[in-house]
Amino acid sequence: SLFRPVLIYTPGISPNNVTTRVLDQEWAETIAVNLTGAMYCSRALLLRMRELGYGRLIFLTSVLSRIAVPGTLSYSVTKAGLSAMAKVIAVENALKGITSNAIALGYFEIGIIKAVPDDYLNNNVIPKIPLKRLGDPSNIVSAINFIINSEYLTGSVIDLNGGMVSG
């Protein structure tokens, strides 16, 4: 079959509250968007992928699933959950031609970072990035293409973050 299904799960919302101020509603919404949606999409596609003997699932997670930043509880926990989801789906489908991986993104010139004030970005975020700059979105595309074309890569979390954290 020419149909080669690929799921790239990108949604993410990031309410900003320290743990003692996390609202029930924002917790539930963050889990729904960042984690439950990924499970629904995966579950919906996996049966067809298994029939075809081919599939790629790629979950965009975050460096915040690997480092602790105050005020990011809901976001960080759900993004860590996506990494675990990728690993479980990988082992469940390893012999079916399906791979499942995650990319833990650092700070890029796209998305949620646009809401961060420039002074905070320049004084608190960029100095912590060894490459001393935000990532170019083309690097995300390159990593996705690498995963799609790598039949032996499964159950992995790729750190794409300018050197902030690895392993």
Residues 87 and 81: their CA atoms lie apart, in Å, by: 10
Q: Which segments of 4-66 does DSSP mark as H helices, in order?
A: 24-31, 37-52
Whole-structure pTM value? 0.94
Mean pLDDT across 61-78:
94
Which two three-digit tokens encode residue 162? 């300018």
Cα diameter, the chain: 52
Structure tokens of 163?
């050197």
Average pLDDT over residues 82-93: 98
pLDDT score recorded for residue 114: 83
- Cβ–Cβ < 8 Å for 91, 155: yes
Share the mean pLDDT of the chain: 95
In this structure, the strands spanning 6-9 and 157-160 are unpaired
The pLDDT assigned to 165 comes to 81
Could you tell me which residues are beta bridge partners of residue 56?
6, 99
Does residue 107 carry a catalytic annotation?
A: no
Percent of the chain with pLDDT over 70: 98
CB 85 within 8 A of CB 35: yes
Task: Tell me which of 9, 40, 54, 75 is the catalytic residue.
Answer: 75
